[in-house]
Homo-oligomer: A and B are copies of this chain.
Amino acid sequence: MQGFKTGELKAEPGSEILAEGASSTQLYTALSGMGVRYKTVEDGRRQVVGFVLPGDFVGLQSGIMGEMQHSVEATTTMTLCAFNRSNIWSLFKSQPSRAFDLTHLAAREEQLLGEALVTIGQMSGVARVSWALYRFYQRLSALELKKNGRVPLPYRQQDLADAVGLSLVHTNKTLTRLREAGVATWQDDALVVHKENELAQLAGMDPGEISVRPLI
């Protein structure tokens, strides 16, 4: 797998790594830093379809389908490991088990989106925000990024709002309520979950439902 690496990319905060509709020849694995995946609509609104954390694959869609369906932007400074798109095909020919892992990744992305769809389509505002926070908490904890009960969360409230389909104002008020209820606090780029079970319940999830994922 190492042989496929063609370089490293360093992305500054706010810079676009991949653009919707573009067919990049490069694919990446995030090594450090965080980013957002999003789609924009004509009227300027945007929907965040996912958050890129260390270890995540970026650009699989363009690798498989030839074109990105969403943009990816760096939120913090990111370093990414770059591969060449043409290597994907040779991967399928020479390393079927790696190819299978890749498909597994695509299926997992689909799973994540499905869960988001349920949350956004059926749940109330509090539940949506709780869900997002809890998901962050789980993923970042699994990445060993938890220190003293705090996980780094360098996003803006607008990013969260665009992810859960609520207005910025309403998202803000919901976060305030969660904080005042002593459930979870997100301030200064860090998230603290005070009552994990309560948060999970608000989110309509079972605590501790984490799942493995193959690394590429």
- Candidate in A93, A103, A120, A121 with the most chain B CB atoms within 10 angstroms: A121
Is A89 in contact with B100, judged by CB distance below 8 angstroms? yes
Q: Which 7 A-B pairs have the closest CB atoms?
A: A121-B165, A113-B113, A106-B106, A92-B96, A47-B118, A103-B103, A64-B107
- Judge whether A148 is part of the interface by a CB distance below 8 angstroms: no
**A and B contact pairs by CB, cutoff 8 A, 16 listed:** A39-B114, A41-B123, A42-B204, A61-B107, A65-B107, A92-B96, A92-B103, A93-B96, A96-B96, A102-B103, A103-B103, A106-B106, A106-B107, A110-B113, A120-B165, A122-B165
Task: Mark out the residues of chain A between 29 and 71 whose CB falls within 8 Å of any chain B CB in the assembled complex.
Answer: 39, 41-42, 45-47, 49, 60-61, 64-65, 69-70
- Judge whether A111 is part of the interface by a CB distance below 8 angstroms: yes
- When distances are taken between beta carbons in the complex, the residues of chain B under 8 Å from A107 are 60-61, 64-65, 106
A39 to B89, CA, bound (A): 34
- Judge whether A104 is part of the interface by a CB distance below 8 angstroms: yes
Is B117 in contact with A120, judged by CB distance below 8 angstroms? yes
Majority secondary structure, A binding face: helix
- Judge whether A5 is part of the interface by a CB distance below 8 angstroms: no
- Judge whether A108 is part of the interface by a CB distance below 8 angstroms: yes
Task: Mark out the residues of chain A between 73 and 107 whose CB falls within 8 Å of any chain B CB in the assembled complex.
Answer: 89, 92-93, 96-97, 99-100, 102-104, 106-107
Q: Which residue of chain B has the shortest Cβ distance to A165 in the bound complex?
A: B121
A42 to B113, CA, bound (A): 19
Total count of chain A residues near the partner, CB < 8 A:
43
Is A110 in contact with B106, judged by CB distance below 8 angstroms? yes
User: Closest CB-CB distance, A27 to chain B, in whole Å?
Assistant: 13
Is A104 in contact with B47, judged by CB distance below 8 angstroms? no
Q: Which single member of B103, B109, B118 contacts A41 (CB below 8 Å)? A: B118
